[in-house]
Every structure is written in structure tokens, then in C-alpha cells.
């Protein structure tokens, strides 16, 4: 079975997804083969160069044309959040399988509409999935397995943080990720969404309420080079009007919140793009009545495990090197001890999506799973706007059309 992929977007996530589509069938023996058919971007010369560099057969500047082509089976959405809903809804209506980057949308209403459309399309055999790639890190998958097997007992505490520092410099320009109308939110949606999804996935519990604070540390930033310069219009006195050189940051730089989950766990979350010295530091720890597990993305091939059922003199966190062929996803890679990297999580994501489509299974995280993250993001923002007031998470499930 061949599945012809059309991808919208060719920047950071586009490159990561392209790596996955290029690699997945060369590593895994799957019931479906991905064909990198068309890549889409707004700039014709840049998208042509991206197609050549990343390995796509063709390119286009019109995503509407892409989703309606008869020679496309899968639409992969790697654009900013403000276009996710429009592209996904059109693709599903056209009968295409859809992989959409996280977070699913910029608003709960958009996410609910997408979830409803995905449920309707599922009846026609069309599959959809949201790209929370960290679920596919083998150590994270093993972490979930240990929790599900009862190895740490009843979950008491969850603590998660995702820290970066790429916008610490106040002279860093006002890119799209710093504009709410394009990105939806800042550190919260960009990286906080990952730890919300990851903790709910590993614990199999859902966040029910939050108390949050957010902060924007630098509120004005230089406009990108292409946005600055002199206006072609006059200022009313016959002279050219100078364009603004700075713009307002309209998203959060950092978000911190406490939460309760439906299984009784108490949790803390921190997402910041102002954590000086931290480049891509994601960490999750879960403490239970019988033990604990901890994952650190900067030690991607390792898992910390504490077994409180062992005799006291033998207790202590031990390091599990997650590189054995028996570990999740690793049977097709290298000999034990030969580590894998960040890009492998996207290959594993492509593997799972292709397999689900070919076998008629429901891939995860589904749009409904991603909607659950979206309602948590919304609750965090509402709580912060109300001065950290306790805010219940709205029900996520969208009505399914008959």
C-alpha cells in the first residue's frame, strides 16, 4: 500500500517531518509505504529549494490545490497555529488522512470543530492524528508502560517543566511565535502543551483544574527585517511615513501552574522561554505509592526508576539505558547501547500513523486527545487572566455528528 504525502510548511517542523518520511520505510517493515509527493509553501523559490533539499518530488504555493489533488492521500500540516483549522478541515472534507502539528489549534472552538470533522471522517475510513512527538521517545513509552503495569503504585505527584532561553535577548525580533493572533499563546502553547500532553499520556489521568500565572518579560521587540523600513505612503505632509521599528509581544514568555488530575494526583507545571542557560530542557517526574519514574530530554536514552518495594538498603533511583531491542520502537535501530536522537521521535510518529491508516486502527494522539490539551491551555490562560484563581477545565469532548 502506497500513501502519497503532501506537506504544508517547510521550516523547522517541516524539516523534522521530512526526515521522518524519508526514513520510516527504510527502517521499519510496514504495511504502507510513504511517498513524498508534494511540499507546499508561500514563497515559490523557497519552497522549490526546500523540495530539493528535503527530498520531495514536487512543490506548490497553494495549499488548497494540494488538499484537493487526486494524487495526495495524506496531508501533513506543519504551519503556524492560525492555519491549522482551515487546512485540516479542508483536507478532511477532501477525504485525506491528516497529521497536524501541535497544539491542534489556536482556540478551543477551532479544536472542537476539527475534532468533530475528524470523527465524521473516521466513518469513511479517514484517520487523523496530532503530532505530539515526545510520546514516541522510547524512554517515555517505557515510562508509560511502567506506570500502567502498576510499578509505581498510586500516583501522588506529577511535576513537569519545559525550559528554553532562545528569546532572552530583548533584541530578538518579533517573530510569529511572539504574536497571539498567529501562535495562539507563547511558551504555554509552544512548549507547555508538550508537558501537558506528556503527563496525561504517561499517567493516564486528565487535568481537571488549574491555578496559573503567566508573565511577558519583554513587551516590545524589534520587527523582523522584512517588516521594517520606510512606508510607500505619505504621512499627510508630503513626506514618506516611517514604519514602526518595534512591535508588541502579545503572548506569554513563561507560564507556571498547579493542577489536579482526575486520578487524585497533584501536579506542578512550568514552561518558559526565558530560562537562561536552558536550551531544550524537558523533565517529567512522577511519584507514586510504590516508586517513582523520571525522564529528562537532555538524557533522551535514559529513564530513572525508583522501586520502593525493594529492601531499604537496596533502594535508590537507578538508571535504565533504554536502547534494548525489547524497548519500545527500538527493535529496528542499532545494537544495545547505541543511542538514538531527537529526530527518531518523528520517525516513530510516522511509523505509527502509517500503520494505523493501513490497518484501519485509530492513531493516537487523536484530535480528541489534542482537544483535551487545548481545553487545559484555555483554562490556564483564563486562570492567569483572573489573578491565579482556581479554574476548572471545561469538558473536552465535541459532539459527534450522526
pLDDT at 225: 81
Assess whether 298 and 219 both reside in one domain: yes
Q: Which CATH number do you get for residue 113?
A: 3.40.50.720
376, part of any domain: no
Assess whether 124 and 59 both reside in one domain: yes
Q: Which of 115-129, 175-189, 235-249 has the lowest mean pLDDT?
A: 235-249
29, part of any domain: yes
pLDDT at 397: 72
Kindly give, in sequence order, each residue whose CB lies less than 8 Å from that of residue 84, ignoring residues fewer than 6 positions away. Answer: 77, 100, 101, 104, 105, 106, 110, 114
Q: What's the mean pLDDT in 212-221?
A: 98
Assess whether 149 and 57 both reside in one domain: no
pLDDT tens digits, 34-82? 999 999 999 999 999 999 999 999 999 999 999 999 999 999 999 999 9
Residue written as cell 487524585? 264
Question: What are the backbone angles phi and psi of residue 17, rounded to the nearest 5°?
Answer: -70, -35
Assess whether 54 and 167 both reside in one domain: no
Closest CA to 293 of 302, 265, 280: 302
pLDDT tens digits, 161-185? 999 999 999 999 999 999 999 999 9
Q: Would you place residue 227 in the very low, low, confident or very high pLDDT band (cuts 50, 70, 90)?
A: low
Say if residue 119's pLDDT is above 70.
Answer: yes
Overall pTM surpassing 0.85 (yes/no): yes
Say if residue 401's pLDDT is above 80.
Answer: no
Structural domain range at position 39: 2-134
Element (H, E) at 51: helix 44-54
Is residue 373 classed as helix, strand or coil in its secondary structure?
helix
Q: Which of 15-29, 158-172, 216-230, 342-356 has the lowest mean pLDDT?
A: 216-230
What's the rounded Cα separation, in Å, for the pair 341 and 250? Answer: 33
Assess whether 149 and 70 both reside in one domain: no
Grid cell of 99 as nine digits: 497529521
Assess whether 185 and 329 both reside in one domain: yes
282, part of any domain: yes
What's the rounded Cα separation, in Å, for the pair 160 and 337? Answer: 27
pLDDT at 242: 62
pLDDT tens digits, 333-347? 999 999 999 999 999
Assess whether 266 and 217 both reside in one domain: yes
Number of domains in the chain: 2
Q: Which CATH number do you get for residue 270?
A: 3.30.360.10
Assess whether 85 and 100 both reside in one domain: yes
What's the rounded Cα separation, in Å, for the pair 89 and 85? Answer: 6
Using the 3D structure, point to which of 100, 117, 134 is the last residue of a domain. 134
Selected residue with higher pLDDT from 300 and 241: 300
142, part of any domain: yes
398, part of any domain: no
Assess whether 154 and 263 both reside in one domain: yes
* Interstrand relation of 97-101 and 74-77 (parallel, antiparallel or unpaired): parallel
Assess whether 147 and 36 both reside in one domain: no
Query: What long-range pairs does 259-262 form, CB within 8 A, spacing at least 24?
Result: 259/207, 259/208, 259/209, 259/210, 259/211, 259/376, 260/207, 260/208, 260/209, 261/155, 261/158, 261/200, 261/203, 261/205, 261/206, 261/207, 261/208, 262/205, 262/206, 262/207, 262/208
Amino acid at each position: 500500500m502506497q500513501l502519497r504525502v503532501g506537506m504544508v510548511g517547510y521550516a523547522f517542523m517541516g524539516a523534522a517531518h521530512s526526515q521522518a518520511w524519508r526514513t520510516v520505510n527504510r527502517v521499519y517493515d510496514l504495511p504502507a509505504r510513504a511517498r513524498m509527493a508534494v511540499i507546499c509553501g508561500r514563497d515559490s523559490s523557497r519552497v522549490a529549494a526546500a523540495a530539493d533539499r528535503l527530498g520531495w518530488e514536487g512543490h506548490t504555493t497553494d495549499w488548497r490545490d494540494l488538499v484537493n489533488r487526486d494524487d495526495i492521500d495524506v496531508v501533513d500540516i506543519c504551519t503556524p497555529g492560525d492555519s491549522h483549522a482551515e487546512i485540516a478541515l479542508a483536507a478532511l472534507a477532501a477525504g485525506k488522512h491528516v497529521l497536524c502539528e501541535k497544539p491542534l489549534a489556536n482556540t478551543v472552538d477551532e479544536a472542537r470543530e476539527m475534532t468533530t470533522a475528524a470523527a465524521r471522517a473516521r466513518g469513511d475510513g479517514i484517520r487523523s492524528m496530532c503530532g505530539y512527538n515526545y510520546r514516541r521517545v522510547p524512554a517515555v513509552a517505557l515510562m508509560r508502560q511502567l506506570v500502567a503495569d502498576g510499578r509505581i503504585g498510586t500516583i501522588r505527584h506529577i511535576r513537569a517543566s519545559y525550559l528554553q532561553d532562545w528569546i532572552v535577548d530583548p533584541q530578538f525580533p518579533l517573530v510569529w511565535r511572539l504574536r497571539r493572533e498567529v501562535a495562539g499563546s507563547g511558551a504555554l502553547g509552544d512548549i507547555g502543551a508538550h508537558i501537558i500532553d506528556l503527563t496525561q499520556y504517561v499517567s493516564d489521568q486528565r487535568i481537571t483544574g488549574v491555578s496559573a500565572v503567566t508573565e511577558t518579560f519583554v513587551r516590545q521587540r524589534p520587527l523582523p527585517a522584512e517588516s521594517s523600513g520606510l512606508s510607500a505612503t505619505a504621512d499627510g505632509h508630503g513626506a514618506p511615513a516611517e514604519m514602526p521599528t518595534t512591535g508588541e509581544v502579545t503572548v506569554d514568555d513563561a507560564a507556571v501552574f498547579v493542577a489536579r488530575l482526575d486520578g487524585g494526583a497533584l501536579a506542578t507545571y512550568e514552561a518558559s522561554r526565558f530560562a537562561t542557560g536552558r536550551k531544550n530542557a524537558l523533565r517529567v517526574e512522577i511519584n507514586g505509592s510504590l516508586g517513582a519514574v523520571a525522564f529528562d530530554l537532555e538524557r533522551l536514552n535514559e529513564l530513572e526508576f525508583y522501586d520502593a518495594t525493594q529492601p531499604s538498603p537496596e533502594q535508590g533511583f537507578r538508571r535504565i539505558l533504554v536502547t534494548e531491542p525489547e524497548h519500545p520502537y527500538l527493535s529496528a535501530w542499532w545494537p544495545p547501547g547505541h543511542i538514538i536522537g531527537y529526530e527518531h521521535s518523528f520517525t516513530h510518529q510516522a511509523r505509527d500513523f502509517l500503520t494505523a491508516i493501513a490497518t484501519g486502527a485509530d492513531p493516537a494522539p487523536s484530535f480528541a486527545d489534542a482537544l483535551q490539551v487545548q481545553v487545559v491551555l484555555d483554562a490556564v490562560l483564563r486562570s492567569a487572566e483572573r489573578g491565579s484563581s482556581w479554574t476548572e477545565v471545561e469538558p473536552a469532548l465535541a459532539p459527534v455528528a450522526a
